[in-house]
Structure 1
Amino acid sequence: MAKKILVVDDSALMRKVLSDIINSDERFEVVAKAHDGEAALGLLKRNTYDAVVLDVNMPKMNGLQLLNELRKNNISARVMMASTDTMEGASVTLDALEMGALDFVHKPQNVSDCKTEEFMTTMLRTLAVVADSKPPVFESYEQSRANKKIVSQVVDIVKKKPIHIAGESVVAIAVSTGGPKSLESVVPHLPPQLNAPVIIVQHMPKGFTATLADRLNKMSEIEVKEAAEGEVLKKGCVYIARAGSHLNVKRISAGKNIITYSDEPTREGVKPCANYMYESLIGTKYDNIVCVIMTGMGADGTEGIMHLKDKRQAYVISQDENSSIVYGMPRTIVKAGLSDEVVALPQIAQEVIMRVGVMGN
Structure 2
Amino acid sequence: MSERVRTRPGGSARALSAAYDTALLDLDGVVYAGGEAIVHAVEALGAARAGGMHLAYVTNNALRTPDAVARHLTELGVPAEPDDVITSAQAVARLIAEHVPAGSRVLVIGGEGLRVALRERGLEPVESADDAPAAVVQGYGGPELAWGRLAEASYAVARGVPWFASNTDLTIPSARGIAPGNGAAVEVVRIATGAEPQVAGKPLPPMHRETILRTGAERPLVVGDRLDTDIEGAFNGGVDSLLVLTGVTDAARLLAAEPKYRPTYVDADLRGLLTGQPEVSGDAGQGFTCRGWTASVRAEALVLNRDRYGDEDGAGDPVDGLRALCAAAWTHAGDAAGRLETGKALARLGW
Q: Same fold (TM over 0.5)?
A: no
The one of the two structures with greater contact order (alpha-carbon pairs below 8 A, sep at least 6) is 2
Report the TM-score, using the length of structure 2 for normalisation: 0.28
TM-score using structure 1 length: 0.28
